[in-house]
Structure 1
Amino acid sequence: MRTFLMLCLGCGLLAVACLAPGIGGGFVMDDRASIEKNAELRVDQLQGEELLRAAYSFQPGGGSRAIPMLTFALDQWRGEGRPEAFKVTNLLIHFVTVFVLACFARKLLLMAGWSPKRAALAALLVASVWGAHPLQVSSVLYVVQRMQTLVTLFMLLALWAYLTMRKAQMEGGRSRKYGLLVALFWALGLACKEDAVLFPAYALAVELTVLRFTAKSPRLARGLRNGYAAMTVLAGALFVLLILPRFWHWGPYPFREFSSVERLLTQGPVLFLYLQQILLPLPASMPFYYDNFRISHGLLDPPVTLFAWCCLVGLMVWAWRWRRDRPIFALGVFLFFSGHFITSNIVNLELAFEHRNHFPMIGVILAVMDLCVMALARVRRDLRLVRLGQICGGLAMLMLVAATMTRAYMWGEPMRLAAGTLRLAPQSERAWLMFAATNVDRSGFQPDSPWLESAITANSLGVEVTHSAVMQANVVIYKSIKGTASSEDWLSLEGLVARAPINVQNRGIAGILLNNVDGGLALDKNAVAGVLDVMAQRVDFDRDENLRIATFVYNETERPGRAFKYMRRAVELSPPDDPAIAALFGQLSSIGREDWVLQLRHSFPQ
């Protein structure tokens, strides 16, 4: 056992070595909002009140995900905001997870009837491949995905405790303390990310394949079967009665370009892509950004939708039929699909992200490993074939390590990542935005910096390729810094805003423009008002947004009368006793606009 544990440490070190070239990279995407610009994470002292404030500062989740947010605060404190400090912690978590995965896999294989030697070797192989896989680059080095990686760690610990508990029940021993560990690790997972709610599905997959609901006590065995059956029925009822009515959209989701039906259809090709990336891990097939992934409007639109769904259904049927003869293969398939149950369902999420495979990839590797063992067992009498298989496996592992280190190296420097991502996803709006943002970060927003000119050029090219309204907004902002923004630039922005899909990025253009005005940037304020007028025809601004736009238009533009419509909309969205609206009426009265106040009082919702 000591030798096995030492080899587990070696697997973890191998995984860290593969990803270490990426430590020098910067923050990307959601890292900026959740970490870099999150003032709540800046703690001066490690005191309870400050740490609690930081732990519950994840606003999109209403204060959930407390454990990763707390660790971000600690990294912020010790590393003074440097991305390297956060990435080192992520690597440490990855190291521990690889170690736990090896221990879990060994226990799982032993309980499936494998010999101790074969179980240990296979467990080490599973942990090594998973830890050194190129997909781990974007899961581990994309700092905010610590939420996902911590969930995987706690789910593996919970499954290890579950196996230990069930082994005791099969042998007639005491299992309560292991049951408490299961509950503890599950609770810790839930404090990291909502994906942890899937733990019962993972446990059910283990029961259906490896454990078979067996126990020394017939009463307990019967209770397990009945309990999981009841849990499955209850979960189905909750989905139909609560989840389905809440999230289903026959038309497009808010700020999306697809409906629930289209999202479900598209998840067939998405899951098929994930399987391709896991089984054929080429960095060129992992662009990181998937915002231009083709939406499926029907089973034959595009035709790959039907093909992908046929393959996925066939894989599930195959696993179900083999669940008794090859339980590890079947379990791996079930874990893959279970791990994607939330993100590939009807919840209003983006279509594809690589980090969603962090736990499900364990299932795929288990399944493939089991097939390889079966194949080697059939040719074990032919030593030449066995040796050939071993050589091929060794070469595959070397290629895997090389691919991961290559990808990690790309992530190790912001411009390398931006340029490499744009090369892999030249049609992606986000890839262009990242490349342009990296240039502007280097410019320090200095008018005479060549990097600022490069950022303008990158945004302009991005507009030509993607017709991005956000990138055109960047063009007018950066040209305004240089003093070269023209009326044609603003008219182009108005035209793109009038045609662009109303997604989260495009909706944020109003805030971007107003923030820069508030920051003192010499934008053409009348042109800004014109863009806001175009946006208001397509975007349902909330009360605060309408009040902010009204204040800007009235105080800063040559046609203050245009502010009235924004005030009226704010009143329509507010109750009569709203203090913000009362303050608005007071301000209007103080400047002699009682006529507006009288009209606005009739706009309250009835």
Structure 2
Amino acid sequence: MIHRTLRNELTALTVLLLFTALLYFPGLSGPFLFDDASNIVDNSRLTGTKETLLDWWGAAQSSGAGTLRRPIPMLSFAVQLQDGPPSSAFSLKLGNLAVHLVCGVALFVLASYLCRAMGLSGDSRYRYFPLLAAALWLTSPLLASTVLYPVQRMAQFSALFVISGLACYMYYRSKWVERAATPDEVAALALWLGIFTFLAVFSKENGILLPWLVVVLEACLLGGRWAGRRSLFAVRCARVAALLPVLAGMLFTLYQWDWVVGDYANRDFTITERLFTELRLSWEYLGWFFLPRIGELGLYHDDILLSSGFWSPVTTAISLFAWCLVIGFGIAIRLRFPWLLMAALFFLSGHSIESGILPLEIVFEHRNYLPLVGPVLLLAAVLHSLAFGLKRLSLHLGPWLPAVFVLILFSSSLGLRASVWSSDLELASASYGRHPDSQRSRHFYASTLIRHRNNATVSGREADEYLLVARHEFERSHIDDPLDLSALVMLYTIDSLHATEAADPERWFAGIERSVSKLKLRATEYASMRVLVACVAGGGCQPTESRMAEVVRVFSERFPGPYAGTQLRLQLLEAVAASSTERISLLESALEDSPHQLSHYYPLISAWLDEGNFSAAHLVILALIDADEDYRHLSTIAAMFKGGSS
């Protein structure tokens, strides 16, 4: 009987995985996006054949994301890109889908061991609990933007290892509920948790939350069950352990306050505005999960109102009150229904890093990939309990109608989202249509129109319409924000490259000059400046050399961090065919200030080679070797000496 039940569950799980893959399949043909370029597509150390361990090490360390460079997902990309740079995103998105399916299996295992540890394995109310939890996770439309965005494999791998670590913990705890642990088992569990934490952290830094989430499950769901009885000592230990990360975070914030708030100078919001806004967003995230609203989901959410104070808007205070109410009610009913308290604490803990005090972007959907495990388990438990309460209905499937309805809602919404992600133009159009007040969505839409026109995917009258619509949208952005540098650059390049009755490039370049001196500069502005310099290099944009040099100088001095300014100046020198001596002077000055900015060494080597000074180039290579303390560039350096690179 047990084997038959297990076989039925595995068959159902297999069908579920195939069904999920079918729902996602249309979205696999979609485009690369934003961070995919720097981390994957244009990452020369990641793509191509890896012949030595140095090549693999260089690929693993080639990401600029995170403090630890997230080597595990980068290695997975390197395995897929052995044949060179990808021509499309299909294979990488297929890899992301595979990781998502494995996450669903891991959640199924976690839910199974949770039932055992809580003594629910024989409870008919939880007979299909693991399968339902996996189904809700796999078909949640909120997670689609993580699965179909190649670079977000980092978030996926981190979540996979965290869920696997939790499942491993529950495997051992399900044994210790009935009998005491042996020293070998404790050592084995500690080792496995260490391994999973290591793998999670080196996939994405928020994997460090695994030990804390273990404590959340222990404190909320197991209730101190140990060796056939309830241990008050275990309960108290779990509660104390749950508070330790909170205290550690507070001490870190106080000790590193200047470091924490320093980067807020480069943001359009303060730390107070961020924390208050995240309070409201936590409920937005939950709303997008429990009641999927396709019209509100998308790549960009910069149209969300910031909370300037506790009562501004009033929903900020309501959000905090609501969390206090949920947690308080969860504590009150924890003995009868512990899932509510667990879901609330799991969700908030999962968001504590990326939605906390760090000066990151305000909102991204992919941040929910791990935190949603708690709400998924809660919803599965609620649907099971509801089905048990309705079991006396005469209709055979009557008790399961609510669960079937939710799964149909999730699946249909996921299918719609995946179809939207099937092409960049459809995605951009939908994103802007659903978020008309989002400047980034508008820019994405207009830039996509320009790209399609330039790539000759449209022609004739349709191409002219694309150009006019794109120009109109950028002009609207300029009207909304006269200092919007991205809009000004695109208007200048459009009017420079395409003579129309409305063309006025001088007006837009004057706006660029004002913008770079007043606007708070961020990564999006750096990308716009690179577009401008590229237009100058191609000869389509022709400002005077002195004005262009001044714009780049002001931007470079005001942009945070030395890397971008130097790279932009170097790009301009190359655009105007400056001598190698000028390039050498710029790069040597930059390296004096930032000797560990390794990307500056390569153009300096090339400049010395252009001069014919091989000894100077050799000295720069030696300096690069000294600066490359973690050997990230050693394979590239070795290729230079083999004659494979210059």
TM-score by length of 2: 0.79
> What SS does structure 2 have at the residue aligned with 1:60?
coil
Q: Amino acid of the residue matched to residue 460 of structure 1?
A: E
Which of these residues, 106, 114, 133, is aligned with residue 112 of structure 2? 106
Q: Deviations over 1:47-92 (max 9, x none)?
A: 4221211111111324521110111112222585020010111111
Q: Deviations over 1:352-392 (max 9, x none)?
A: 111111122221122233233444444544x2699655334
Q: Distance in 2 between matches of 1:380 and 1:217?
A: 31
Answer yes or no: is the 8 Å Cα contact 1:432–1:458 preserved in 2. Answer: yes
Cα distance, 1:91–1:424 mapped onto 2, change above 3 Å: same
In the alignment, structure 1 residue 464 sits paired with structure 2 residue 479: yes
Which of these residues, 219, 236, 258, is aligned with residue 269 of structure 2? 258
C-alpha displacement of 1:119: 3.1
Answer yes or no: is the 8 Å Cα contact 2:45–2:58 preserved in 1. Answer: yes
Q: Distance in 2 between matches of 1:166 and 1:277?
A: 33
Cα distance, 1:550–1:23 mapped onto 2, change above 3 Å: closer
In the alignment, structure 1 residue 37 sits paired with structure 2 residue 37: no
Cα distance, 1:43–1:246 mapped onto 2, change above 3 Å: farther
Q: Amino acid of the residue matched to residue 150 of structure 2?
A: V
C-alpha displacement of 1:461: 3.7
In the alignment, structure 1 residue 531 sits paired with structure 2 residue 542: no
Q: Distance in 2 between matches of 1:232 and 1:319?
A: 16
> What SS does structure 1 have at the residue aligned with 2:267?
coil
In structure 1, the partner of 2:495 is 479
In structure 2, the partner of 1:197 is 208
Q: Deviations over 1:559-602 (max 9, x none)?
A: xxxx9xx99xx7999499x9x9xx9xxx9xxxxxxxxxxxxxxx
In structure 2, the partner of 1:437 is 447
Answer yes or no: is the 8 Å Cα contact 1:101–1:156 preserved in 2. Answer: yes
C-alpha displacement of 1:498: 4.6
Which of these residues, 402, 419, 423, is aligned with residue 413 of structure 1? 423
C-alpha displacement of 1:521: 5.1
Q: Distance in 2 between matches of 1:95 and 1:17?
A: 12
Which of these residues, 371, 374, 377, is aligned with residue 363 of structure 1? 374
Q: Distance in 2 between matches of 1:511 and 1:181?
A: 46
> What SS does structure 2 have at the residue aligned with 1:436?
helix
> What SS does structure 2 have at the residue aligned with 1:287?
coil
Q: Deviations over 1:512-555 (max 9, x none)?
A: 43454456654313442353466478546638836964996999
In the alignment, structure 1 residue 391 sits paired with structure 2 residue 397: no
Which of these residues, 264, 271, 274, is aligned with residue 282 of structure 2? 271
Q: Deviations over 1:77-127 (max 9, x none)?
A: 258502001011111111111122112112212322224454341211111
Cα distance, 1:5–1:180 mapped onto 2, change above 3 Å: farther
In structure 1, the partner of 2:326 is 315
Answer yes or no: is the 8 Å Cα contact 2:533–2:575 preserved in 1. Answer: no
In the alignment, structure 1 residue 93 sits paired with structure 2 residue 112: no
Answer yes or no: is the 8 Å Cα contact 1:543–1:574 preserved in 2. Answer: no
In the alignment, structure 1 residue 403 sits paired with structure 2 residue 413: yes
Q: Deviations over 1:236-282 (max 9, x none)?
A: 44323334443566688032111211111111111010011011112
Answer yes or no: is the 8 Å Cα contact 1:247–1:347 preserved in 2. Answer: no
Answer yes or no: is the 8 Å Cα contact 1:79–1:85 preserved in 2. Answer: no
Answer yes or no: is the 8 Å Cα contact 1:58–1:65 preserved in 2. Answer: yes
> What SS does structure 2 have at the residue aligned with 1:297?
coil
Q: Deviations over 1:286-331 (max 9, x none)?
A: 1321123211111111121111221122112222222222123322
Q: Distance in 2 between matches of 1:341 and 1:464?
A: 37
In structure 2, the partner of 1:241 is 251
Range moving further from structure 2, 259-268 or 439-448: 439-448
In structure 1, the partner of 2:312 is 301
Q: Amino acid of the residue matched to residue 494 of structure 1?
A: E
TM-score by length of 1: 0.84
In the alignment, structure 1 residue 504 sits paired with structure 2 residue 515: no
Which stretches in structure 2 are left out of the alignment for 5+ residues?
1-5, 609-646
Cα distance, 1:490–1:352 mapped onto 2, change above 3 Å: same
In the alignment, structure 1 residue 167 sits paired with structure 2 residue 187: no
What do you get for the CA RMSD once the two structures are aligned? 3.9
Matches within 5 A, 1:17-166: 17-45=22-50, 47-77=52-82, 80-81=85-86, 82-116=88-122, 118-166=125-173
Q: Amino acid of the residue matched to residue 94 of structure 1?
A: H
Cα distance, 1:488–1:60 mapped onto 2, change above 3 Å: same
Answer yes or no: is the 8 Å Cα contact 1:28–1:142 preserved in 2. Answer: yes
Q: Distance in 2 between matches of 1:529 and 1:257?
A: 27
In structure 1, the partner of 2:634 is none
In the alignment, structure 1 residue 542 sits paired with structure 2 residue 557: no
C-alpha displacement of 1:462: 3.5
Q: Deviations over 1:394-452 (max 9, x none)?
A: 23322221111011100011111011111011121221222123223323478996455
Which of these residues, 325, 342, 348, is aligned with residue 337 of structure 1? 348
Answer yes or no: is the 8 Å Cα contact 1:43–1:50 preserved in 2. Answer: no
> What SS does structure 1 have at the residue aligned with 2:382?
helix
In the alignment, structure 1 residue 184 sits paired with structure 2 residue 233: no
Q: Distance in 2 between matches of 1:112 and 1:573?
A: 61
Q: Distance in 2 between matches of 1:260 and 1:521?
A: 42
Cα distance, 1:238–1:19 mapped onto 2, change above 3 Å: same
C-alpha displacement of 1:157: 0.9
The size of the alignment, in residue pairs, is 577
Answer yes or no: is the 8 Å Cα contact 2:66–2:205 preserved in 1. Answer: no
In structure 2, the partner of 1:597 is none
Answer yes or no: is the 8 Å Cα contact 2:220–2:338 preserved in 1. Answer: yes
C-alpha displacement of 1:222: 7.9
Q: Distance in 2 between matches of 1:494 and 1:575?
A: 28
> What SS does structure 1 have at the residue aligned with 2:141?
coil
Q: Amino acid of the residue matched to residue 130 of structure 1?
A: W
Q: Distance in 2 between matches of 1:229 and 1:24?
A: 47
Q: Distance in 1 between matches of 2:284 and 2:156?
A: 21
Cα distance, 1:464–1:210 mapped onto 2, change above 3 Å: same
Which stretches in structure 1 are left out of the alignment for 5+ residues?
558-562, 588-606
C-alpha displacement of 1:344: 1.8
Cα distance, 1:68–1:521 mapped onto 2, change above 3 Å: farther
Answer yes or no: is the 8 Å Cα contact 2:30–2:90 preserved in 1. Answer: yes
Q: Distance in 1 between matches of 2:437 and 2:453?
A: 25
Range moving further from structure 2, 434-443 or 195-204: 434-443
Q: Amino acid of the residue matched to residue 274 of structure 1?
A: Y
Q: Distance in 1 between matches of 2:235 and 2:274?
A: 34
Percent sequence identity over aligned pairs: 23
Cα distance, 1:495–1:145 mapped onto 2, change above 3 Å: same
Q: Distance in 2 between matches of 1:430 and 1:238?
A: 36
